[in-house]
Amino acid sequence: MATIEEIIEQVRSYNPKADFEVINRAYEFAEKAHEGQTRLSGDPYITHPLEAARILADLEMDSASIAAGLLHDVVEDHDVDIEQIEREFGDEIARLVDGVTKLKLADFEVSVPEAEKSDGQKKKHAEHRRSAENLRKIFLAMAKDLRVMVIKLADRLHNMMTLSALPPERQQKVAMETVQIFAPLAHRLGIWKIKWELEDLAFKHLQPEEYATVAEKVARTRGDRETDLEEAVEIINRRLKEEGVEAAIQARPKHLYSIYNKMLREGVDFGEIYDLSALRIIVNTVADCYHALGVVHDQWMPIPDRFDDHIAKPKSNMYQSLHTKVIGPRGEPLEIQIRTWDMHRMAEFGIAAHWRYKEQAQTSDEFERKMSWLRQQLFDWQADMRDANEFLRSVIEDLFTDQVFVFTPRGDVVDLPAGSTPVDFAYRIHSDVGNHCVGAKVNGRIVPLSHKFNNGDIVEIISRSNSQPSLDWLSFVKTSHARNRIKGFFRKIHFADSVARGRELIEREIERLGSDAQNLLRPEKLAKVAQGLNLQSEEDVLAAIGFGHVAAGTVINKLKAEEQPADTLIVSNKQQTAGAVVLDGMDRVSIKRSRCCAPVPGDEVIGYVTRGKGMALHRTGCPNAIAFRQNEPDRLVEVQWSQVDGDRYQADIKIEALDRVGLLNDISAIFSATNTNIYSARIKSMPDKRAVLELTVDVRDVKHLNELMTSVGRLSDILKIERIASHHAGKVK
C-alpha cells in the first residue's frame, strides 16, 4: 500500500512547486472520515483513496486533483457535505470532489423496491436506465472539468485491481462496464497508461480461461522475443549513434487484451502473431524523429502501407508519433514508434499531461483549443438525448467505435466514427451547416453526401440557405448527433402543424360554447394549464390538443374553472349493474362507448340517448357529439365518467416514426414496463423511410394513455404520436 509520504515525494519529483500542505491536509481529513471502515477485501478503507492518489501521481497530475482523489469518497460514505469540503479546501477541490462523487456508474448497487425484486426484467431495465443516467452525468462533469474523468479513471483502476473481493456476478458487471465505457474513455482522452491496464484487468474477469491461455502463451515465448528485441535494440542503437542522434530505445510488449482482439479480428492462432512486441525510439527533437525514421528504413525493409505520420497529422486526443512496421533482423515483422520526450509523455498521460504545466503557470491555449472538440461533443449529446437509454446507445456508437480523422480547409482535425460521411461532418461543425448542406468536396473533388471518409481527407461543405435535410440521409449517416439533428428537424415540422391544429380545434370549441376565445386563450392562463398538465409551455398545450393527447374540452374547462365551475351529473361506475347505469330522472339504460371516438375514463364525455340502444358516451370534441348538440340537444346528458379499479378500455394510437431495425421492440418494451397489453398492431413501412404503426392498447384511463404516449414520444425516432378513433370500442366494462 502506498503511503502519503511516498505520494508527496513522487509529486515533488515532477513538480517541486506543488501545494504539499493541501495534499497532506486532504489525507488527514480522509483518514479521519474513513476511520474504522474496511473494504470488502478486509483492507482499511483509506487504502483505496491512497491508491487512487498514487495513480494520479503516476500520471503527474496537479495537487488539486491528488487532494480530490484522496477525498473522493468522503461525501458519499460519511456525514460530510460539499459545503464542508469547500470551507476546508476551497472551491476548486470541492468542485472536483462533487463531480467525482456524482459519477457512480457501476460503483453502486441499484436500489430496486422489494416488490420488484422477483421481476428480473424490471430490475434489469432499472439498472440499465440508472447506468445510462449516470453516464450522462459523467459527460456533463467532464465537459466542465476534464480532471473529473481522470480522477474517476484512477478510482476505477484501483477498484479493478481489487475486483476479486466482489461476488462473481458483480465482478462481471463492473468488468463489462470497464471494457465498454472506461477503457475507451481513457483511450479517447489519450491516457494509454490507464487504458491498457483497465482492458487487461477486465479481460481477466470477463474471460478468465481465454486470459489464462493468452498469458501462458505469451510467458512461454517471452525468452525468444526478448532475445530478438535485444538484437534489434543493439543494431538500431549503434546506427543512431553513428548518425549522431541521441535516443532512448524501449521494448514495448503488447498487452494481453490487444493480442486476444487481434486473434479474433484476423482469425489467426497465437502462433501466427509475430508482432507481440514493438520498439519505441524516444529522441529530443522533431527533426531527430524523421532522422531516426530514415535510419530505421535504411537498416530494415519497411512493409508497404504500414507507415503513419501522427506528428504531421496528430490525433484529436493530441497523440503524436511516427509509426512504421519493418521486416526485423530475423525476418519477422517489427513495429517501431518514434517520438520526442514531450510526445511520449502526452502519449502515456494524454490530457493528464496538461495540468502539471498549468500548475507551474505554463498554460497552453493550444491544449484548450484542441480539447474544445470534446467539450462541444459532450454538450451536443446532452442537448440531443431526451431518453437515457438512447443517450447510452449514442455514446457507445459515437465515442467508443473506431475513428477516422479528417481536416477542415483551415487544417483543424475533426474525428468521427469510421464510416462517417459529409453530412456527419457538417452537423459536427454546426447544426445550421448540416441543415443547409447540399454537397461536399473531399480533397478538392465533388463527392456524394453518402461518401465515406478516409483518414487525412480534407473536407469542405457546400450549403444553401433555402435547403433542408432529407429523410434519406438517415440511411447513411453514422453519428448519433447527425441522426438526432435530422430527426429533430422533422419533429419540429410536425410539432408546428400540431400547434396550428390544436389552436383551430380549441377556438372552434370555444366558439361553439359561446365563450370569448381572446379572453380564455391568454398566454398566462394557458401557462397555468400547461403547468397543471405537466407541460412546458402554452404551445405544448396546443400541440397536445392537436396530437389528441388532451381534449380541447378538458383544456377549456380548466381555463374556465375559476370563473364558471362545471355543473355536471356524475355517472359513477359504482352504480353499474350488468352494464347499466341508473341516471337521475331516467330509467336504467345501457351504457356503451361510441366507436367513433372511443372515450376512456378521464376524458371529457357527454351522453347521447339513442333510439332503443341505450346511451352512447362520446368525447366532447367528437364530430358526432358536436352534430348532436346542433340537431338533437334534448338527447344529450352532461356526465362525468369515473373509472373502476381494475377495468381496462381499448384505445387506438397512431405512431409515425423513422423506420429502423428494433423500433417495434423499443416501443413494445415501454408497454411491457407498465404492464400494458397491446390488443392489436397494424404496421406499415413507407417509401420515404417512415414507419406508421396503429396500435390498439388496453388502458385504465386517459392519464394512463397519456403517460404511455409521452413515454413512446421520448424515443428519438418518433416523429408523431396521436390518439385516433378506435374500431374496437365496446360496452363499458
Using DSSP's 3-state secondary structure scheme, residue 604 falls into: coil
CA dist., res. 239 & res. 295, Å (int): 7
Q: Return the beta strands (E) in 185-286 as ranges.
A: 247-253, 277-283
Residues whose CB is less than 8 angstroms from the CB of residue 608 and which lie 6 or more positions away in sequence, other chains included: 594, 615, 616, 617, 618, 624, 625, 628, 632, 635, 636, 637
CA nearest neighbour of 153 among 128, 127, 190? 190
DSSP state string for 538-576: HHHHHHHHHHTSS-HHHHHHHHHTTTS----EEE-GGG-
CA dist., res. 557 & res. 539, Å (int): 18
Name the grid cell of 151. 480522477
Amino acid at site 531 = Q
DSSP state string for 497-521: HHHHHHHHHHHHHHHHTT--HHHHT
CA dist., res. 622 & res. 311, Å (int): 70
Residues whose CB is less than 8 angstroms from the CB of residue 159 and which lie 6 or more positions away in sequence, other chains included: 48, 107, 174
CA dist., res. 473 & res. 482, Å (int): 9
HSE, side-chain direction, 13 A CA sphere, residue 727? 7
Using DSSP's 3-state secondary structure scheme, residue 411 falls into: coil
Does the active-site annotation cover 76?
yes
Q: Which of 43, 58, 76, 497 is catalytic?
A: 76
3-state secondary structure 303-372: CCCCCEECCCCCCCCCCCCEEEEEECCCCCEEEEEEEEHHHHHHHHHHHHHHHHHHHCCCCCHHHHHHHH
Q: Which of 5, 6, 77, 688 is catalytic?
A: 77
CA nearest neighbour of 134 among 110, 155, 151? 110
* Catalytic sites, residue numbers: 76-77
